[in-house]
């Protein structure tokens, strides 16, 4: 009976030879992520920044993005962010917080309705005040921090210290690059982005655990085998599974990006990036660390440079 496999059973690719390239590359990407986060910051959505989000659909023809962007100056609302999504008729308007509290926000909505109501159907209006957005920022940040601490604690108790350190570094690497991705691409960072980050941590941890468990299994069988060879053997053994799960998940996420609409777009795009980074870090970041730290029953760590 024929079986479909994305990687041959006897594959013996030398992944560890690439660590001399992947480590400098990851270091460069990490530095760029930090610089982008500190200089550009995140493109906070209405959930965190506060303001009014309006979803409109043109009653006939295409949405006129140029005219809608000019509403800020025309109605004295400040900068109005306009973004097309879905079909040519659909568009979202984001109006920043107006001085004067909730009454001013409601007045801004009414002003927009009066200006474009004849040509557009208002399908959704969301108003988030500064107090609510501030509470969301605090709650979201606390949730992410506590989740990461729980994951790192789990890793520390599950593995010997060498494997635990490798898993922690890989997880933090994925988080850092994901935040840099949000900063550079200017994807809207909102509540669904928090969910994406937590899911990325879970996906990254899952890939890391699969690789480390196989490494530990082979370590017990072949105690005299060189560490780079053990790692290569372990990765090649799980490569078919990693490719299969990543490909099927990417296909599902691609459908969300194409057909899910603006509301979950940032979630799906971030998930696609995190899925790729998670698989990359489990192979090229986490595993090579064991060569330098040394692994249980493997004696002294490697002395030569990377």
DSSP assignments along 150-200, one per residue: HHHHHHHHHS-HHHHHHHHHHHHHHHHHHHHHHHHHT-EESHHHHHHHHHH
pLDDT confidence of residue 144: 74
**pLDDT tens per residue across span 118-155:** 788 888 887 776 555 566 667 767 777 887 788 778 77
Cβ–Cβ under 8 Å, residues 54 and 201: no
What pLDDT, on a 0 to 100 scale, did the predictor assign at position 303?
A: 44
Please tell me whether residues 96 and 143 are part of one structural domain. no
For the segment 14-29, what is each residue's pLDDT rounded down to a tens digit? 778 888 888 899 999 9
Domain boundary among 83, 111, 128: 128
Number of compact structural domains in the chain: 2
CA-based nearest residue to 84, from 98, 59, 72, 66:
66
Is residue 90 located within the same domain as residue 33?
Answer: no
Asked if residue 281 and residue 229 are part of one domain, the reply reads yes
Residue 263 pLDDT: 64
Point out the domain boundary residue: 76, 106, 128.
128
Cβ–Cβ under 8 Å, residues 52 and 108 = yes
pLDDT in tens, the chain (306 residues): 445 555 555 667 777 888 888 889 999 999 999 999 999 888 877 767 777 888 888 887 778 777 777 777 777 777 677 777 767 788 888 777 777 666 777 788 888 888 877 788 888 887 776 555 566 667 767 777 887 788 778 777 777 788 888 888 888 898 899 999 999 988 888 778 888 888 888 888 888 888 888 888 888 887 777 888 888 888 888 888 788 888 888 888 888 888 766 667 778 888 889 888 988 888 888 888 888 877 655 444 444 444
- Whether residues 62 and 182 fall in one domain: no
Question: Please, what is the Cα angle at 205 between 201 and 208, to 5 degrees?
Answer: 140
Nearest to 147 by CA among 202, 184, 108, 93: 202
Quote the domain boundaries for residue 75: 51-128
Q: Do 183 and 73 belong to one domain?
A: no
CA–CA distance, 287 with 208 (Å, rounded to integer): 9
Domain check: are 221 and 287 in the same one?
Answer: yes
- Give domain status of residue 260, yes or no: yes
For residues 174 and 203, what is the distance between their CA atoms, to the nearest angstrom? 10
Q: Residue 282's CB: how many other CB atoms inside 10 A? A: 28
Regarding whether 187 and 70 lie in a shared domain, the answer is no
159-190: burial string, b at 16+ Cβ within 10 Å, e else: beebbbbbbbebbbbbbbbbbbbbbeeebbbb
Kindly report the CATH number assigned to the domain that includes residue 208.
1.20.1640.10
Give pLDDT, residue 295. 61
Same domain, 86 and 228: no
pTM of the model: 0.72
Is residue 39 included in any domain, yes or no? Answer: yes
As to burial, measured by CB atoms within 10 angstroms (0-12 exposed, 13-18 middle, 19+ buried), residue 124 is exposed
Residue 115 lies in a domain: yes
């Amino acid at each position: 009976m024929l079986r479909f496999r994305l990687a041959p059973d006897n594959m013996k690719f030398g992944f560890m030879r690439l660590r001399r390239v992947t480590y400098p590359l990851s270091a460069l990407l990490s530095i760029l992520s930090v610089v982008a986060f500190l200089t550009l910051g995140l493109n906070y959505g209405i959930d965190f920044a506060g303001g009014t989000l309006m979803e409109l659909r043109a009653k006939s023809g295409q949405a006129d993005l140029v005219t809608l962007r000019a509403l800020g100056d025309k109605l004295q609302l400040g900068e109005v962010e306009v973004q097309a999504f879905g079909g040519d008729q659909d568009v979202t308007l984001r109006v920043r917080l107006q001085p004067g509290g909730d009454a001013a926000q409601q007045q801004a909505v009414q002003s927009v309705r009066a200006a474009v109501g004849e040509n557009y159907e208002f399908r959704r209006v969301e108003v988030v005040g500064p107090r609510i957005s501030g509470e969301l920022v605090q709650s979201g940040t606390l949730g992410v921090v506590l989740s990461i601490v729980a994951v790192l604690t789990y890793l520390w108790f599950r593995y010997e210290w060498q494997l635990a350190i490798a898993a922690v570094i890989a997880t933090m690497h994925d988080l850092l690059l994901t935040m840099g991705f949000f900063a550079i691409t200017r994807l809207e960072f909102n509540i669904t982005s928090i969910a994406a980050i937590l899911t990325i941590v879970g996906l990254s941890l899952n890939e890391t655990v699969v690789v480390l468990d196989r490494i530990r299994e082979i370590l017990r069988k072949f105690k005299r085998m060189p560490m780079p060879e053990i790692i290569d053997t372990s990765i090649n053994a799980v490569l078919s599974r990693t490719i299969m799960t990543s490909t099927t998940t990417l296909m599902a996420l691609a459908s969300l990006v194409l057909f899910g609409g603006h509301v979950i777009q940032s979630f799906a795009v971030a998930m696609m990036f995190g899925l790729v980074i998670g698989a990359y870090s489990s192979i090229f970041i986490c595993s090579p660390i064991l060569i330098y730290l040394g692994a249980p029953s493997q004696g002294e760590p490697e002395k030569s440079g990377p």
